[in-house]
Structure 1
Amino acid sequence: MLRIHDEVFELSDPGLATALASIYGTKVRPFCICRTGGVEMYIAKISGKYAVKRMPNTGPDHAPDCDSYEPPAELSGLGQLVGNAIDEDAEEGLTTLKLGFSLTKVAGKSAPSPGTSEKDSVKTDGNKLTLRGTLHYLWEQAGFNRWSPAMEGKRSWAVVRKYLLLAAENKMAKGGTLLERLYVPEPFTADKKAEIAQRRMSRLAKASAPAGATRQLMIVVGEVAEIGKARFGFKIRFKHVPDCDFMMNEDLHTRLQKRFATEIELWNSNSANGVHLMAIATVGVGHTGVPSFEEIALMAVSPGWVPFESQFELMLLNTLGEKKRRYVKGLRYNLASTSPLATLVLSDTEPDPTALYVVPFGASEDYLQELDQLIENSKLPSWKWEPGTAELPAFPSATALKPYRKQPALPPVESGI
């Protein structure tokens, strides 16, 4: 529920949109009353609708069962990016993203290495979002790193696409809106094949240019159906674009297979069980109209579309799903795999959420020491599992199930109100 002035509104209250319109653009703030005294929020206008958004850096202030709750940023890769690569302006309702990859293609210039580079050092550039970091940001903004029992069976590609596009609204990057540079394939139906193809070509036309000229690139996010060999080079076929292959040269394919070997192996070994492989890529279109990759990153997600990094993490997600638990998955963003983070945070424990940590096989002494330091410095109680040396520990008890406080999109408000 929200409090505006001294009046309390249910999120489904038809009068809420009018109340929000009356204070939009003023210094008056709505308050989420998930906590005693309320937590300050702000109003954004998205596609002509008013949406109540969490104020920057206030996620941990909300109750764990509130949709606005967010674990402390330092437990994931988000911590190093907030205020640097991700700059939220609550007054304007806009977020500016500093991207660490190019959205232009200079003729004759070779493609960059796919995704984030894994080096011996765990140091990363917190001032810019990598391609993988951008996918993690969109995924988290769309809410697909969260899980509650009420979500079972309610996530489809249509839902994923809808909320990814909503997540891109009011986001600025490279001097323009992120949404105008983003292509997420719509669900494919054979009887509308020609219409869908026309809309796709129209969208990707923004990434085309005459031969020899600098062209703009699009950001494509899609579910991988196949990574295979083409007549010349290699290709990726997206699940919802069965009539158009996206091409890549042999060098990019080789680097992709090396850098994202873990994600590809997790997908290959679990695809029969509903695991998806997501790709984010910058794409250009040549004079032939064929799209080709410039840079690409991959991410494995569970049948419920929650990201995971290992077979043990997938086992943890499945077990928590069977036990009807609620959680928020920590995402790595720019962090290298040699840097620890909380695997997820259980949001159904009291008085505080509980951070869960899964120690990877073969973790170095430096990794273990850094993990212990992370746990020690965190304000949240912790749970740790070392799959190589111990069985899955018992989970902390869940509190009584409460309604999941999701903030629905509000109806448009008539102009002049």
Structure 2
Amino acid sequence: MIQRYRVLGRSVAEGDELQPVLREAYERKSPVHCECRKGTELPLYISHRQNGYVLARWPGSGARHATACDHYEAPDYLTGMGQVRGSAVLDDETSGETSLKLGFPLSRGAARLAPAALTNDKPTVKSSGQKLSIRGLLHVLWDRAELTHWHPKMAGKRTWFVVRRALLEAAASCRAKQEALPHVLFVPESFKVEEKEEIRARRRAALARVYASQGDMMVVVGEIKEIVPAHGAEKIVLRHVGDMPFVMDQDMARRFHKRFAGELALWQAQDGPNGKSGHLVLAGSFARRREGTFDLIEVALMPVTPEWLPYESSDERYLVGKAVAEKRRFVKGLRVNLDTETPIASLVLKDTGEEASAIHIHDRDDEVAEPLEALLAGQGVAHLLWKEGEPLPARVSRPPRRSWDAQQAA
């Protein structure tokens, strides 16, 4: 389909002409509507970013767009977003700003210099959805950055540079603990030897909060390079900031390996050198000691494919890889705060016609449990129980593109 918008009283196609029109609409605070569904009001809002003007859907409205539309999003009830939207994630449709309620602290008493050595992301804890765990925050950011979306044209283009930019743009309109989220979020910049001094200066500025006070904390999101012993403790080294290890004391390390044994096993099972077949993303709150070292406090791990698409089991990794290899268009579901026993849709395929298809991983030799049965009864998408070796729903070919005049005539 041709992506078109109603702006300043006329219909404009996505392309070179759109940017100057969006600039004028932004300055005049004029509304913009997506035209993917005739007769349906689908308002969008304009964000002004470094590279220009970007159109974004209002939170929670994505499922109303056509499946072929760039702004389509899977219904919230299929994933963990349904639990936190309106409670831990509060969207202001007037300002476009989102308030995030965090279930972990971003400050500690100056006397408490030792790391807390805790994680609030245990799979046995039942979350009410009122506040985000550290994993919940990571998933919400990944979702807002649309790093859960995949289109064949993205193949080979999603690098750490792209991931970082998307995360920072997603955080730009968020607030947490009465602060702008970018003030407490650190996402390492891609390292370049020829710019190492400039990068160090920018990193120091980005970490101003923890340099100013030992009692304040920040949140880091980065890719793990290695986990190594360090004088009776352990340290986690992230890519692009090899000279800034994050330290875990013995107790924290013991809990870390016990809690994330599954995620670490999936990471270790990835094939290929230098993480070419996948990555392991860490999100963690951290503080800086007087000596200059950095202590991890709350931690979450998230294995992702080479395309930076999250997965939580070997079956799901196979499913995501299959969908990518078959050049499908889809949205990856995320658990956010939900425990591991609560079912969610692994993928929602966007290329199956007027109705999207939610894919649920399930061994059909087992009886469908009541929670999954309830999920399968949800409206707005077709549902499919899938297991390894089975085909995905057939792709519905789009009609050939026509000019706007031809569409109007039709």
Residue by residue, what CA displacement relative to the aligned partner does 1:269-290 show, whole Å, maximum 9, x if unpaired? 1052521000011111111122
Please tell me whether the aligned partners of residues 31 and 38 of structure 1 are also in contact (alpha carbons under 8 angstroms).
no
Cα distance in 1 for residues equivalent to 2:61 and 2:22: 23
Q: 1:393/1:286 Cα in 2 relative to 1: closer, same or farther (>3 Å)?
A: same
How many Å separate the matches in 2 of 1:354 and 1:33? Answer: 22
Q: Deviation at 1:261?
A: 1.2
1:170 alignment partner in structure 2: 173
Distance 1:199-1:22 versus aligned 2 partners, 3 A rule = closer
What residue number does 1:371 align with?
372
User: Per-residue deviation at 1:91?
Assistant: 0.8
1:23-38 pair list within 5 angstroms:
23-24=28-29, 29-38=31-40
Give the superposition deviation at 1:292: 1.6
Q: 1:20, 1:43 within 8 Å by CA — same for their partners in 2?
A: no
Distance 2:63 2:13 in 1: 22
Say if 1:10 and 1:56 are closer, same or farther in 2 by CA, change over 3 A: same
Give 1:136's aligned amino acid: H
Aligned-partner Cα distance in 2 for 1:247–1:371: 40
**CA separation of 1:203 and 1:42: change in aligned 2, threshold 3 A:** same
Q: What is the distance in 1 between the residues matched to 2:400 and 2:342?
A: 35
Kindly report which structure 2 residues correspond to 1:10-409, keeping only aligned pairs within 5 A, or say none: 10-12=13-15, 13=17, 14-24=19-29, 29-47=31-49, 50-106=53-109, 107-108=111-112, 111=116, 113-119=118-124, 123-208=126-211, 215-272=215-272, 273-359=276-362, 368-386=369-387, 391-400=388-397
Q: Aligned equivalents of 2:397 and 2:105: distance in 1?
A: 48
Indicate how the Cα distance of structure 1 residues 395 and 94 shifts in structure 2: closer, same or farther if over 3 A, else same: same
**Offset at 1:231?**
1.5
Superposed CA offset, 1:167-221 (max 9, x none): 10011110110011111101112232233223223322311356xxx61111100
Measure how far apart 1:360 and its partner are: 7.1
Q: State the TM-score, normalizing by the size of structure 2.
A: 0.89
Paired residues of 1:60 and 1:69 also in contact (CA < 8 A):
yes
Q: Is the 8 A contact 1:23 1:29 kept in 2?
A: no
Whole-angstrom CA distance in 2 between matches of 1:261 and 1:146: 27
Measure, in 1, the Cα distance between the counterparts of 2:288 and 2:90: 31
For 1:204 and 1:356, the matched residues in 2 are separated by 41
The one-letter code of the counterpart of 2:230 is A
What secondary structure does 2:82 align onto? Answer: coil
Kept after mapping to 2: 8 A contact 1:39/1:62: no
Question: Is the deviation greater in 313-322 or in 30-39?
Answer: 30-39
Query: CA 1:231–1:191 in 2, change beyond 3 Å: closer, same or farther?
Result: farther
Shift of 1:66: 1.5
Q: Which amino acid aligns with 1:130?
A: S
Q: Quote the Cα distance in structure 2 between the aligned partners of 1:93 and 1:260.
A: 35
SS in 2 for 1:281: strand
SS of 2:207 mapped into structure 1: helix
Give 1:379's aligned amino acid. Answer: G
Give the Å deviation of 1:305: 0.3
Cα distance between partner residues in 1 of 2:193 and 2:36 = 45
Indicate the percent of aligned positions where both proteins have the same amino acid: 35
Describe the SS at the equivalent of 2:393: coil
Give how far 1:322 is off. 1.5
SS in 1 for 2:389: coil
What is the TM-score normalised by the length of structure 1? 0.88
For the 8 Å contact 1:141–1:167, the answer to whether it is kept is yes
Deviation of 1:368 (Å)? 2.4
Distance 1:205 1:402 in 2: 53
8 Å CA contact 2:66, 2:354 repeated in 1: no
User: What runs of 5+ residues in structure 2 fail to find an aligned partner?
Assistant: 402-410
How far apart are residue 5 of structure 1 and its match? 4.9
Report how far residue 46 of structure 1 moved: 3.7
Cα distance in 2 for residues equivalent to 1:117 and 1:329: 22
After TM superposition, give the deviation of residue 378 of structure 1 in Å.
3.7
Tell me the distance in 1 between the aligned counterparts of 2:74 and 2:353.
14
Structure 1 residues 347 and 270, CA gap change in structure 2 (3 angstroms)? same
Deviations 1:42-70 (A, max 9, x none): 42444475433212321110011222111
AA in 2 matched with 1:370: P
Instruction: Give the secondary structure class of the aligned counterpart of 1:254.
Output: helix
Residue type matched to 1:252 in 2?
M
Moved more, 317-326 or 334-343: 317-326
